[in-house]
Structure formats: C-alpha cells, structure tokens
C-alpha cells in the first residue's frame, strides 16, 4: 500500500510548520491513525495550502527533503 | 532545536463509534499530565441549581441590542480599511503586478503585492479564483476599493480544472505539481469479494454529494494594531490561541508579542480554525501604514477562499444476507476540495456493522478554493452514502428499513453492559414513535395526485471529548465578586454562558454573581472550538479551577465557624456547614475574610468530569411534488445525547442549527463552477441557496440527558444525519432513488425521468 497522502500521521521527519485543525483542537482521546482522513493541511508560514516554495502542503510533501522544510 | 513530537502508532480500521472524528495530537508534544489534586466531581443531580436547566445566554440582550461588538463592528482610533485583490481567473500565471497607480491615490496608506511574478508554483500563479494577488489599506473602504481597481495585473490565463471528473480524466492538463489526483488510500477489513458472493442481495450504485461552501454570517478577517513590536489582533476566529500561533509564525515574531482577542464572533463552522491569511496580510498592512487596519472579507470572497465541505463520490457495492444481516460494503471513492488535499470521507458510516468492508479513496485537485474543516468533516457525506445504501438494501429484502437498521446497528462491545455512547438501538424506536413510522408506506407513495409523502431515517455518531491541554483560572475577590477566565471563545454556541454556569454552580451563587471572561490569549490556554470539544474541555477545567478557588475560601472560613474546611458547602449564596446549614455566613461575609488579597486558583483539565462519544438519530417526513420536483420537509424528529446537558436551551439551539444546516446540505446548497473557466457562478447569498425561514420545518428535539457522564460535545452530531434522512424520505415518497445531493427540483425530476426510461431502484 502506498503512503497515505492525507494521513495525519505526522512525525519528526515532517516540517514543523505543517498544520491541521486537530493540532489546535487537541482531542487527545482520538489517537487512532486512519488511512483515509478528511483533513485539510496548511503551512504556518504562508497560512495557505501552499508552502513558501509555492507547492502544495501535505504530510506526504512536507518532509525534510523539501527545501523550505524546517525542524 | 527539533520540536518534541509524538509519533502515533498505526492502527487497523476498527469499527468504533466516533473514530471518524477529530485529529489526534499529531505533531504537537503530548499535553502535560494534569496536576494532581483532590478528586473532582459534578454535584449530585438533585443539588444542581443551574446545570441542565434552560438558561438564556448572558449576552443575548447585548447581541439583540447591537451592543455586543463583533470583530466586524470594532473601530480603532485612526483605523484604516484593508481590501484584497483576488485573481479573476481560476488558473493563471502572474506576469506582472503594477502597484504604482494605487500607491498614488489620495488616502491610500499601504499597498502590498502578495504574488511574485518570478515566483515558483503558487507564488507566481493563481490556482483558484479569488487567490490573493495584492492588498491595500486606505482611509476609507471606498478609497480602498478604488485603489484595488487601480492595481494592474498582467495575467496569462491557463487551462483550469473545474470538476473532479476533469481532474481525473486521462487528457487533463497537468495543473498541480505532483499530479491532479492523489495517491490512492486503502482501508479494508475481511474478504469483501467472498462476502459479496455470499450475499442474498446486492446494491450497486454511484452516490455523490456536492461542494458546500462556508457561509458564516460574520465574514473572515480581523483588525491589527501595532504598538512597537507588539501586535494586538481582533480576529473572527474559532481559536484565539491558534490564531496567535498562525499570526506569529507567519510574521516570524515571538508569540509573546501577539495578543488575539475575540469577544464575539459570528459563526465559523470549522472555517476559522487556522488559515488566517487575511489577518496576516492585515498585520503587514498595519505595519507598513503605521496605523491600525481592519480587513474583513466580503461575501464573494467568503465563497471563493474560505473553504468548503468537499464533494464526495462513491461507487458502491453492498450486500446483505437473506436474514437481513449486512455482509459487505465495497467502495471506490473520490472527491475534490479544490486546490488542496483533504476531500476524504470514510464509508461505510461506522454505526452499522459490515463484517467485510473496503474503501479505496483518491482526492482530485481542482482550481477552486481549498477545503477547510466543515462541521463534522466527512460525516454528512458518509452518512448520506451509507444510509441511502441501507434503504436500498431494505427494499431489495422487502424489509422495513428501520428493522434493517435495528438488526445491524452497532451496540455495546460488551453486551452485558450498556454503552452510553452507542444508544441507537434505543433511539431509533423512540424517533420512530415520534414521527409516526407505523404509518409509513413502502417505497413509493400510492396516493393519487402529484404530492407524494414519505419518511426516512438515519443515525449519527461523534467523539466530542475534552482536551487535556485545557487550563482555566478562577478568582474570588474580597468584595465577593468571582472572575472565571479561560482562553476559549464563544463561536455563537453560548460558551460565555457555559463558563458562568459552571462557576456559579460551584460557588453556590446566582448566574449574576460571577463574571466570565473569554476570547483572549491573555487567558489560560483552551483549545480551538472545533471537533465539538469545547463544552467538555471548558466545563471540566473551569469546574476544577472554581473548586480549587472555593476550597481556598473554605480554608479561610472554616476557623471562623469552628469546623474543618471539608465540612463546608457553598450553597444559596452562603458558606455553610453541610450538616448544620444554619451555621454559616453569607458569601459576601465569607469573602471579607480575605482582607485585601483575592484568591486566584488555576485548574487543569482532569479526568472524570467529561466523557466522549455521542449517538443520535433523525427522522424526516417530507412532501415532494412530482410535477415540479420541489421537496418540502414537513417535520424532522431528532433524538440525541450529549452526555450531561449543561444548558438545555443552548444545547437545543445547537441541534436546531445543525438540522437547519443539514437541510441546506440536503436540498439547497451547491457551489457551481463554470465548467470551462472554473469560476464560481453563484458566489453570493442570492444564488447560493440557504434555507430561509419558510423552508424550516417543524423540528422535534428529544435531548437525552446522561447526568452521570459529564458533558460531551454537541456541535457536530446534529448536522450529520439530516440529509440522509431527507433523502430516504424523498425516495419513500416518490418511489425513485435520487443518489446525489442536493435534492434539488431538477435532480428529482431527472431521477423521475430516468425511472420512466429504465429505473433507479
């Protein structure tokens, strides 16, 4: 199975500027990862669904290999 | 330094109520463990004077009289007005931006280019209509509008993707850097193909729901005022602390330099939980102009850029055995939320047991404003698809669809114990009794004439647990006043009143004896008001803060009464001995013992005062005119729990609002994009249809109180089932299945026509 594009499974490898709603809601009881997620992502820096480099934001994209990624 | 992260463990697809709810803490560090303190509880039910009663909002009169100042209403001395220039094209390369004419206009104080013609990707392109190109601040709104018109932008229009089908077609232009369609995600359990082979009846069909745009009455935006390097921002937001994170992070300034205030706000429904782009632009304009700036979006901009509930498509095969037990659900799903990911939804809806199930999902990216969280993200779509399939399976079995639900609805994991979060088996019969389900005819109203009547039903689930990160403060002042402070925000749900209820109940005072202060990052952290977490987070934490403060007061009073502090109670405006109520003193007398030093006590969210998981059902009774295709919903019956009801009146208001919003999703709301240009043709409240007063049916609400559970969130659940119940009622009325939303007259007439030429059932 391919890596889920829209997973909220965010790890140390992800950019610290990656944001989704759950990070502000912090429902700490829902800790189960799901492959199919109705989640929107955005960049803290741009406040949009595109990062500082002009490319889309997602857990699949916002990793250390991306040049605008910050840890 | 790398931030501390919590890696979440992968899990299987468990069929649990509420799992399709809110995100886990993800990249954030795990909340600190709650400080240990004495065990805290809600007062016994018989002793509750405020909790669970119907209490009017404290700020209702101020709102009705226009005294409540929403962000939109605030005017600061010397304030300028900001406006944005959005792209008229859904997809275009920005070849040049000339601000000079706008800068020269009298009254213009600041102008910003928000795109870079030399920039890569979205920096040099517009990916959707309304994508922000430039911004101005001027002394009046009219001058700001004029200045926007003077900005010259050279666009190179590019081919745009208006629909998911266009994005997914083999000959689609490559619009998005990594393709127009996401990789496929898969969730599965059991052997779907084998289960389908064993089924006595199979339903196959394609089901779809439309894009629903956010239409909060107060538009997005804020007012930004700098004092040196410190910024005060009045923001229409669902998360004051979240807005601070976004503004400071985007401006690269310390969070300690940013204060966010939201005294009142006019609705958000998920769209104001981040993405504070317009406020960041506002802050930049204010810095440039050296003056406060207000920047609020207009209605058109709201429709274009502030998010939506994505469309949903599902090609489904579902099976049931001859005894009416569901056996399998297989779905290939897709949808689009515009220029961003997140169009997913999970089917089958997780209140029914399909032993074998599989879903393969892809997001399609289109040139439209990106999606945002929208009241119960993914749930109404999944509910519609699943509940309609259930009714179709019942028709195949020639079985009452209510009976099919009763045979397959999720029940307690341990059959010997009742699960208060899985009450559908109890609520479906309650709703059926209220709607008069026994009078329901089989699919297709046999009555003569064009007006056909029908009934349908659907269930819902949600999480709504509190956040462990929540903190609160309570002060008891020597003059007897009580101040309850928490950095939550009232998004229109009555949270200010909720805080006062908890404080007053704990102190044994009337509601007027306490003051609730919220909506400010200067107050202790509370989560964003999303995911229906607010009531559980705020109630539990404020109760602890207030009990901590009250106990300090008990310690001051006890020596004067010659008893231990644990012997005291706060009741009816007095501090008195529990076993000898006549022995005591008034609240005011007790507070005088403080001298000049107030009590200030903090509270951290603790276990046991709130819970998680709700269940609910809705029934619809509709009339459909098969000559015009017009549906009129006559009645909605709702049976819903939310743990302990804190304020019955505002809880009922939540349900009314959810059902009315659900009706909009069922019958009216629909973002329409021109299929050639991807420009929205109805970005207003005239042609983007919302339910009006005459469209609202009789709504019969039964709120089931669970006084021992503690509160659970209620914001999301009532919106989930309405569209599915209405859709099933429409099919029951007209005898034809409409597998897409909205159930507009043209969709119903089209389905009736298709039935005449081949059938939909």
Q: What is the CA radius of gyration of chain A?
A: 12
State in words which class domain B71-158+215-305 has. alpha beta
Q: Are A2 and B13 an interchain contact pair (Cβ–Cβ within 8 Å)? A: no
Query: Of all helices (H) and strands (E), which one includes residue B138?
Result: strand B132-138
Write out the two tokens for B742: 């909205």
> Which 8-state DSSP code applies to residue B418?
-
CATH of domain B45-68+466-515+526-604: 3.30.365.10
Tell me: the pLDDT tens digits for B460-481? 999 999 999 999 999 999 999 9
How far CA B509 is from CA of B50, B164, B363, B517, B581, in Å, comes to 10, 57, 53, 17, 16
Task: Report the range of poorest mean pLDDT among B3-7, B33-37, B260-264, B378-382.
Answer: B3-7
B605 interfacial to chain A (CB closer than 8 Å): no
Our CA-based measurement puts residue A25 at a distance from the nearest CA of chain B, in whole angstroms, of 5
Q: CA–CA separation, B336 vs B344, rounded Å?
A: 8
A19 interfacial to chain B (CB closer than 8 Å): yes
Please, which residues have CB within 8 angstroms of residue B46's CB and are 6 or more apart in sequence?
Answer: none
Residues 337-396 of B with CB under 8 A from A: 337, 339-346, 359, 361, 363, 365, 370-373, 377-378
- Per DSSP bridges, beta strands B614-625 and B631-641 are antiparallel
Q: Nearest residue on chain A to B610, judged by CA atoms?
A: A29
Residue percentage of chain B with pLDDT more than 70: 95
What's the mean pLDDT in B448-468? 96
pLDDT at B432: 98
Of B663, B620, B635, B646, the C-alpha closest to B709 is B646
Output B437 or A20, whichever has higher pLDDT. Answer: B437
pLDDT at B757: 77
Of A16, A5, A51, A48, the C-alpha closest to B119 is A51
Task: Report the range of poorest mean pLDDT among B7-21, B114-128, B283-297, B689-703.
Answer: B7-21
B329 interfacial to chain A (CB closer than 8 Å): no
* CA angle in degrees (0–180, nearest 5) for B406-B410-B416: 100
Q: Which chain B positions have a beta carbon within 8 Å of A60's beta carbon?
A: 183
pLDDT at B295: 98
Asked if the model's pLDDT at residue B1 lies above 70, the reply is no
pLDDT bucket at B385, cuts 50 / 70 / 90: very high
Q: Are A46 and B250 an interchain contact pair (Cβ–Cβ within 8 Å)? A: yes
Tell me: the pLDDT tens digits for B341-355? 789 999 999 999 999
Which among B18, B22, B340 has the least Cβ separation from residue A22?
B22
Task: Report the range of poorest mean pLDDT among B101-105, B185-189, B413-417.
Answer: B413-417
pLDDT at B27: 35
pLDDT bucket at A9, cuts 50 / 70 / 90: low
pLDDT at B491: 97
Tell me: the pLDDT tens digits for B706-742? 999 999 999 999 999 999 999 999 999 999 999 999 9
pLDDT bucket at B35, cuts 50 / 70 / 90: low
- Could you tell me the residue ranges of all domains in chain B? 45-68+466-515+526-604, 71-158+215-305, 308-332+348-464+611-756
pLDDT bucket at B9, cuts 50 / 70 / 90: very low
Asked if the model's pLDDT at residue A13 lies above 90, the reply is no
Which among A4, A39, A58 has the least Cβ separation from residue B23?
A39
pLDDT bucket at A28, cuts 50 / 70 / 90: very low
Per-residue DSSP letters for B226-264?
A: EETTEEEEEE--S-HHHHHHHHHHHHT--GGGEEEE-S-
Q: Are A25 and B10 an interchain contact pair (Cβ–Cβ within 8 Å)? A: no
Q: Are A27 and B361 an interchain contact pair (Cβ–Cβ within 8 Å)? A: no
Please, which residues have CB within 8 angstroms of residue B246's CB and are 6 or more apart in sequence?
Answer: A19, A44, A47, B274, B275, B276, B279, B280
Q: Are B528 and A5 an interchain contact pair (Cβ–Cβ within 8 Å)? A: no
Which value does ipTM take for this structure?
A: 0.90
> Which 8-state DSSP code applies to residue B56?
-
Asked if the model's pLDDT at residue B300 lies above 80, the reply is yes
Asked if the model's pLDDT at residue A11 lies above 90, the reply is no
Q: CA–CA separation, B213 vs B216, rounded Å?
A: 9
CB B591 within 8 A of CB B477: yes
pLDDT at B373: 94
pLDDT at B21: 36
Q: Nearest residue on chain A to B369, judged by CA atoms?
A: A49
Our CA-based measurement puts residue B425 at a distance from the nearest CA of chain A, in whole angstroms, of 24
What's the mean pLDDT in A24-43? 69
Average pLDDT, chain B: 94
pLDDT at B756: 82
Q: Nearest residue on chain B to A40, judged by CA atoms?
A: B342
What's the mean pLDDT in B120-149? 97
Dihedral pair phi/psi, residue B582, rounded to 5°? -70, -20
pLDDT at B14: 35
Asked if the model's pLDDT at residue A30 lies above 80, the reply is no
Q: Are A56 and B468 an interchain contact pair (Cβ–Cβ within 8 Å)? A: no
Please, which residues have CB within 8 angstroms of residue B194's CB and are 6 or more apart in sequence?
Answer: B356
Of A69, A50, A29, A58, the C-alpha closest to B533 is A29
End-to-end CA distance of chain B: 61
pLDDT at A34: 66
Query: Of all helices (H) and strands (E), which one includes residue B484?
Result: strand B482-485
A69 interfacial to chain B (CB closer than 8 Å): no
pLDDT at B627: 97
pLDDT at B163: 97
- Could you tell me the residue ranges of all domains in chain A? 1-71
CB B127 within 8 A of CB B367: yes
Mutate which: B25, B250, B643, vs A, most A CBs within 10 A? B25
pLDDT bucket at A7, cuts 50 / 70 / 90: very low
Asked if the model's pLDDT at residue B574 lies above 70, the reply is yes
Q: Within chain B, how many helices (H) and strands (E) appear?
A: 18, 28
Our CA-based measurement puts residue B271 at a distance from the nearest CA of chain A, in whole angstroms, of 10
B29 interfacial to chain A (CB closer than 8 Å): no
pLDDT at A15: 93
Asked if the model's pLDDT at residue B82 lies above 80, the reply is yes
Q: Find out whether the peptide bond into B429 is cis, omega within 30 degrees of 0.
A: no
Asked if the model's pLDDT at residue A56 lies above 90, the reply is no
Asked if the model's pLDDT at residue A10 lies above 70, the reply is no
B117 interfacial to chain A (CB closer than 8 Å): no
Of B277, B257, B267, the C-alpha closest to B236 is B267
Which among B31, B119, B341 has the least Cβ separation from residue A54?
B119
Q: CA–CA separation, B334 vs B142, rounded Å?
A: 43
CA A47 distance to own-chain centroid = 13
Asked if the model's pLDDT at residue B18 lies above 50, the reply is no
pLDDT at B758: 66
Asked if the model's pLDDT at residue B411 lies above 80, the reply is yes
Burial profile B102-132: b = 16 or more Cβ within 10 angstroms, e = fewer = beebebbbbbbbbbeeeeebbbebbbbbbbb
CATH of domain B308-332+348-464+611-756: 3.30.365.10
Tell me: the pLDDT tens digits for B620-647? 999 999 999 999 999 999 999 999 999 9
A26 interfacial to chain B (CB closer than 8 Å): yes
Domains B45-68+466-515+526-604 and B71-158+215-305 share a fold: yes
Mutate which: A6, A40, A42, vs B, most B CBs within 10 A? A40
Of B592, B489, B506, the C-alpha closest to B546 is B506
pLDDT at B241: 97
Task: Report the range of poorest mean pLDDT among A28-37, B8-17, B242-251, B440-449.
Answer: B8-17
Instruction: Give the HSE-up count for residue B461: Cα atoms under 13 Å, Cβ half-sphere.
Output: 26
Our CA-based measurement puts residue B245 at a distance from the nearest CA of chain A, in whole angstroms, of 8
Q: Which chain A positions have a beta carbon within 8 Å of B307's beta carbon?
A: 40
Tell me: the pLDDT tens digits for B500-549? 999 999 999 999 999 999 999 999 999 999 999 999 999 999 999 999 99
Our CA-based measurement puts residue B755 at a distance from the nearest CA of chain A, in whole angstroms, of 34
Asked if the model's pLDDT at residue B561 lies above 80, the reply is yes
């Amino acid at each position: 199975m391919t890596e889920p594009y829209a997973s909220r499974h965010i790890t140390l490898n992800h950019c610290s500027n990656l944001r989704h709603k759950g990070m502000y809601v912090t429902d700490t009881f829902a800790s189960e990862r799901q492959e199919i997620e109705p989640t929107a992502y955005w960049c803290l820096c741009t406040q949009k669904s595109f990062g500082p480099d002009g490319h889309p934001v997602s857990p699949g994209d916002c990793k250390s290999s991306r040049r605008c990624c910050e840890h | 330094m790398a931030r501390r992260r919590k890696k979440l463990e992968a899990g299987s697809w468990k069929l649990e109520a509420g799992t399709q709810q809110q995100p886990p803490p993800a990249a954030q560090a795990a909340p600190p463990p709650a400080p240990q303190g004495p065990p805290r509880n809600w007062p016994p039910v018989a002793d509750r004077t405020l909790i669970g009663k119907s209490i009017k909002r404290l700020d209702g009169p101020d709102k009705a009289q226009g005294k409540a100042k929403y962000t939109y209403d605030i005017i600061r001395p010397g304030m300028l007005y900001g406006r944005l220039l959005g792209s008229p094209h859904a997809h275009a390369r920005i070849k040049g931006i000339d601000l000079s004419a706008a800068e020269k206009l009298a009254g213009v104080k600041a102008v910003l280019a928000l795109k870079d013609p030399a920039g890569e990707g979205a920096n040099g392109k517009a990916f959707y209509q309304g994508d922000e190109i430039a911004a101005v601040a001027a002394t009046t709104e009219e001058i700001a509008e004029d200045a926007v018109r003077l900005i010259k932008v050279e666009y190179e229009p590019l081919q745009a993707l208006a629909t998911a089908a266009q994005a997914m077609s083999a000959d689609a232009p490559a619009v998005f850097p990594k393709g127009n369609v996401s990789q496929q995600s898969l969730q599965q359990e059991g052997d779907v193909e084998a289960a389908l082979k064993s089924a006595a009846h199979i339903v196959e069909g394609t089901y779809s729901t439309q894009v629903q745009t956010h239409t909060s009455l107060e538009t997005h935006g804020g007012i930004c005022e700098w004092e040196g390097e410190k910024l005060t921002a009045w923001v229409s937001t669902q998360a004051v602390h979240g807005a601070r994170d976004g503004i400071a992070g985007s401006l690269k300034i310390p969070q300690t330099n940013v204060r966010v205030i939201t005294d009142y706000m006019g609705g958000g429904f998920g769209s104001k939980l981040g993405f504070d782009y317009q406020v960041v632009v506002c802050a930049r304009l204010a810095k440039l102009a050296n003056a406060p700036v207000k920047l609020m979006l207009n209605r058109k901009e709201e429709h274009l850029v502030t998010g939506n509930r994505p469309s949903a498509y599902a090609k489904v095969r579902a099976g049931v055995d001859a005894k009416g037990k569901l056996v399998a659900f297989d779905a290939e799903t897709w949808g689009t939320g515009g220029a961003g990911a997140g169009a997913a939804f999970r089917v089958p809806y997780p209140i029914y047991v399909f032993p074998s199930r599989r879903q393969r999902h892809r997001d399609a990216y289109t040139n439209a404003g990106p999606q945002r969280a929208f009241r119960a993200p993914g749930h109404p779509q999944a509910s519609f698809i699943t509940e309609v399939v259930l009714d179709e399976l019942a028709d195949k079995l020639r079985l009452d669809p209510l009976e099919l639900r009763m045979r397959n609805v999720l029940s307690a994991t341990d059959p010997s114990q009742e699960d208060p979060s899985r009450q559908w088996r109890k609520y479906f019969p309650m709703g059926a009794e209220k709607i008069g389900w026994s009078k329901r005819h089989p699919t297709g109203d046999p009555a003569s004439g064009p007006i056909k009547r029908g009934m349908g039903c659907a269930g819902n689930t949600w999480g709504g647990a509190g956040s462990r990160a929540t903190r609160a403060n309570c002060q008891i002042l020597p003059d007897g006043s009580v101040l309850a402070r928490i950095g939550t925000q009232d998004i229109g749900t009555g949270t200010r009143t909720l805080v006062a209820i908890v404080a007053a109940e704990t102190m044994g005072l009337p509601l007027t004896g306490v003051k609730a202060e919220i909506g400010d990052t200067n107050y202790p952290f509370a989560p964003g008001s999303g995911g229906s977490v607010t009531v559980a987070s705020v109630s539990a934490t404020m109760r602890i803060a207030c009990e901590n403060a009250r106990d300090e007061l008990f310690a001051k009073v006890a020596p004067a009464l010659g008893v231990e502090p644990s012997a005291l109670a706060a009741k009816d405006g007095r501090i008195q001995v529990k076993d000898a109520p006549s022995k005591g003193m008034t609240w005011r007398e007790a507070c005088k013992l403080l001298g000049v030093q107030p009590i200030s006590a903090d509270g951290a969210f603790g276990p046991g005062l709130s819970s998680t998981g709700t269940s609910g059902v809705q029934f619809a009774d509709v009339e459909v005119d098969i000559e015009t295709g017009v549906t009129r919903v006559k009645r909605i019956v709702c049976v819903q729990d939310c743990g302990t009801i804190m304020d019955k009146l505002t809880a009922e208001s939540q349900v009314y609002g959810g059902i009315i919003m659900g009706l909009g999703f069922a019958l009216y709301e629909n973002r329409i994009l021109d299929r050639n240009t991807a420009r929205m043709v109805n970005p207003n409240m005239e042609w983007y249809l919302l339910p009006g007063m005459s469209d609202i049916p009789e709504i019969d609400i039964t709120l089931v109180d669970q006084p021992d559970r503690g509160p659970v969130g209620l914001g999301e659940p009532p919106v989930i089932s309405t569209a599915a119940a209405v859709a099933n009622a429409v099919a029951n009325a007209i005898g034809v299945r409409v597998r897409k939303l909205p159930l507009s007259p043209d969709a119903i007439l089209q389905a009736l026509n298709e039935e005449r030429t081949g059938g939909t059932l």
